[in-house]
Amino acid sequence: MSEDHPKRRSDISARVVADETVVLDLGAAQIHQLNATASFIWNRCDGHNTAGEIAEKLADSFDVDSETACQAVQTALRRFDELRLLDSARE
Amino acid sequence: MRCAESTTYGLVTAAYGEMQDDASTIDLDYSVGQNGADAAFYITRPGQKALKASDNGTFLALFDKDIAIELQKLRRDLFFVHAAVLTRGEAVMLVAKPGGGKSTLTWALLHHGFGFLSDELAPVDLGTLEVHPYPRTLALKREPPGSYPLPRRTVTTSRSLHVRNVPGSVVKAPTPLGAVVFLNYDPDATAPKIRRLTPAEAGARLYANALNPLAHAGSGLDGAVRITAAQPCYELVSTDLPATCALLARTLEPSE
């Protein structure tokens, strides 16, 4: 698992509603809906947690095995990156 | 609104007759009419450049656009959504892409006990979650299917059909919002389908149809989420109109 410290872009607005998240990227004129798992991962993209740490927390909270959690985090981070929702100049 | 001659007066009355009121308070001061050798239509307001249209459909389209923008400036407190609104006790917001069958379904639902609040604009009070009326005449882009024929007094322009005297009641008071329905017309579907949306999915969809989100807190995201978190939201795949109306009516029935 990557030792990267993913971080949400600071100019993006997000609101949590019923365990899901609505993410507004005004700069790109795009709005996204994150399901509960993606929301969990998104909320931990704070520049401190590594991808591996996020996966551990996901495994604990959602009662899934480590491999499933790692795959979910990798998939979500890849998608966040594709959508340019994360800071590109992170550690 | 001042109108100099009968052709333009007839058009404006056909489209906005339900909104006629006494002129004791003037918020917007329009003059409209036709002039010149080509009888072009004009729309003027004090201090504004005149808008001109070569035909009646373009004239009403320009007027619709102008008044929608001016209303958003006048009532910045309201969250404007591009949507039709029907009533069935509470307000039912119908959201669709342009050309997505919103007005046609609205016309059909008016034959099934729904009342009419708006065909185009849904101004929502985010404090009370009431939808304000905007009873501009229902405007269809084309003739609806034969099961819902248009009345004789329908006014036809180069762009649309304006239906006066709708079968349901025209509601002219703010009405509490009861449901939001995102419409997706699929002519190839064999039957209409409806599914409940999560507040987040509905919030994202609603935001995409908001007209003045940046006038509100959190760039409008708070407003969109407040609306969709407070009542049921659905995606309706519409096809055959009577079946679609029946499905929506059943879905919106109050549970025992």
User: Exposed e or buried b for every residue in B117-133, given b needs 16+ CB within 10 A?
Assistant: bbbbbbbbbbeebbbbb
Asked if B224's CB is within 8 angstroms of A21's CB, the reply is no
Confidence (pLDDT) at B58: 97
Asked if B201's CB is within 8 angstroms of A18's CB, the reply is no
- Choose among A15, A20, A34: nearest Cβ to B221: A15
Sort A13 into a burial class: Cβ within 10 Å, 0-12 / 13-18 / 19+: middle
Interface of B with A (CB under 8 A): 198-201, 203-204, 207-208, 218-219, 221-222, 224-225, 228-229
Confidence (pLDDT) at A1: 59
Residue type present at position B132: H
Chain B partners within 8 Å of A26 (Cβ)? 219
Closest among B84, B78, B67, B58 to B19, alpha carbons compared:
B67
Asked if B200's CB is within 8 angstroms of A31's CB, the reply is no
> Which residues of chain B fall below pLDDT 70?
256
Asked if B207's CB is within 8 angstroms of A22's CB, the reply is yes
CB contact set of B87 (below 8 Å; sequence gap of 6+)? B114, B115, B116, B117, B169, B171, B175
Q: Write down the mean pLDDT value for chain A.
A: 93
**A89 pLDDT above the threshold of 60:** no
Closest chain A residue to B223, measured at CA? A15
Sign of CA dihedral B145, B148, B152, B155: negative
Q: At what angle do helices A36-43 and A51-62 cross, to 10 degrees?
A: 140
Q: How far is B219 from chain A (nearest CA, A)?
A: 8
Confidence (pLDDT) at A91: 46
Q: Report residue A19's pLDDT band, with 50, 70 and 90 as the boundaries.
A: very high
Q: Do residues B11 and B157 lie in contact, with contact meaning Cβ atoms separated by under 8 Å?
A: yes
H-run or E-run covering B21:
none
C-alpha to C-alpha distance for A69 and A52, rounded to whole angstroms? 9
Pair type for strands B31-35 and B2-3: parallel
Closest chain B residue to A33, measured at CA? B201
Asked if A34's CB is within 8 angstroms of B203's CB, the reply is no
Number of helices and strands (H, E) in chain A?
3, 3
pLDDT tens profile B27-52 = 899 999 998 778 899 999 999 999 99
Confidence (pLDDT) at B39: 82
Confidence (pLDDT) at B37: 78
B198, B209, B214: best mutation site toward chain A, by most A Cβ within 10 Å? B198
Region of A29 please: left (phi>0), alpha (psi -120 to 50) or beta: left
Chain A partners within 8 Å of B209 (Cβ)? none
CB contact set of B141 (below 8 Å; sequence gap of 6+)? B99, B103, B159, B160, B161
Confidence (pLDDT) at B256: 60
Confidence (pLDDT) at B20: 83
Q: How far is A89 from chain B (nearest CA, A)?
A: 26
